[in-house]
Amino acid sequence: MLKNQQINVIERDICLDIVNKEYDLIIAHLLLGEATKFGNSYEVLLDKVCNINSRYIIIIDYLEDPKVNEKSILEICNKYNWTIIYKSYFKNDIPQVWNDFVGDHNFGYLIKKK
């Protein structure tokens, strides 16, 4: 339940910035696979996401994306003392076509600070 019914959405390149604020929720939607298209590495971006002071992280990405490695998500969560509390896989109604893959399925993680 929202206390004041307001949600602030902030978009920024966290690979170039230091994030000093604390957030309730970080959402990484199709962020990890796109990292390389903007000159960042998947591993560096994942590390930055998990290093932000937050209560929860949601990661949603394509299962078919060759740049996204689910094993590394688990490893980085352990490194920063995060726990995956919910994990889901689902099929898209309409596949999304990218240059190097067709995104037919998504995975999602709800992650909480231990």
Asked if 90 contacts 61 with a C-beta cutoff of 8 angstroms, the reply is no
User: Is 2 within the bounds of a domain?
Assistant: no
Which structural domain range is residue 34 located in?
Answer: 23-112
Beta bridge partners of 111: 57, 84
pLDDT at position 4 is 64
For 54-66, write each residue's pLDDT tens digit: 999 999 999 998 8
Q: Residue 100: give its domain's CATH number.
A: 3.30.110
What gap in Å lies between CA 45 and CA 28, rounded to an integer?
10
pLDDT at position 81 is 92
For 93-110, write each residue's pLDDT tens digit: 999 998 889 999 999 999
> With bands split at pLDDT 50, 70 and 90, how would you rate the model's confidence at 48?
confident
Answer whether residue 1 shows pLDDT above 60. no
Residues 64-74 have a mean pLDDT of: 88
pTM of the model: 0.82
Residues 6+ apart with CB under 8 A from 34: none
Residues 6+ apart with CB under 8 A from 10: none
For 3-15, write each residue's pLDDT tens digit: 666 777 777 777 7
Number of domains the chain is built from? 1
User: Is 18 within the bounds of a domain?
Assistant: no
Answer whether residue 67 shows pLDDT above 90. no
